[in-house]
Amino acid sequence: MKAAVFPDVLRKILTKDSVTVSVDGVVYFRIHCPISAVANVSNAHSSTRLLAQTTLRNALGTKNLSELLSDREGISLSMQESLDEATDPWGIKVERVEIKDVKLPQQLQRAMAAEAEASREARAKIIAAEGEMKASRALKEASLVIAEAPSALQLRYLQTLNAIAAEKNSTIIFPLPIDMLQSFMPSK
């Protein structure tokens, strides 16, 4: 007994949330009782295909787009059970049902892409804001440490100058406190 394959079981379906999608499905079945397949139905192959189309339309019409995209296996299994039960009196055994492809309209694809982009940008802004908050806390803690030990500010200043000098492509301006320069100025 061979398994018959029906590609493109159904083209367009309206989902529960009113989105029209194109669906490609395949039904694999075999005739296990040729007498029933001839006696109980006029054209077993055609009848099975029509039943598969109707079952797919009914199954997907009760699903939202997100459910359709995320639960193809579950939908396929429930369709297989339903089809197998309905075709058993015809001497047909449905062995497998697959939803191969779900095609969304171009306009919906663009809208979903724009929504995903906006979501990524929002997450990036949140991450950047959290980083700024952590940096400001670290600066606050550093200022408290420097306030306790004024010489720490001088050491930090020298470390910064050392880092700048390591680049060897910068002009370094070395600011000095004015009170330090007053000792070199003539008194009036």
Q: What is the pLDDT of residue 1?
A: 42
Greatest mean pLDDT among 10-19, 28-37, 124-133: 124-133
Superfamily for the 3-104 domain: Band 7 domain (3.30.479.30)
pLDDT the model gives residue 49: 85
- Residue ranges covered by each domain of the chain: 3-104, 109-167
Average pLDDT, the chain: 83
Residues 6+ away with beta carbon under 8 Å from 33:
91
Asked if residue 10 has pLDDT above 70, the reply is no
Q: Does the structure show a pLDDT above 60 at 7? A: no
CA 125 vs CA 120, 121, 131, 156: distances in Å: 9, 6, 10, 31
Distance CA 150, CA 162 (A): 19
CA distance 99 to 48: 16
Encoded amino acid at 16, one letter: K
pLDDT digits over 140-164, tens only? 888 888 788 877 777 887 888 788 7
Non-local (6+) Cβ contacts of 92 within 8 A are 29, 30, 31, 32, 37, 44, 48
Q: The tokens of 172 are what?
A: 């370094």
Predicted local distance difference test score (pLDDT) of residue 24? 83
- How sure is the predictor about 131, in pLDDT bands with cuts at 50, 70 and 90? very high
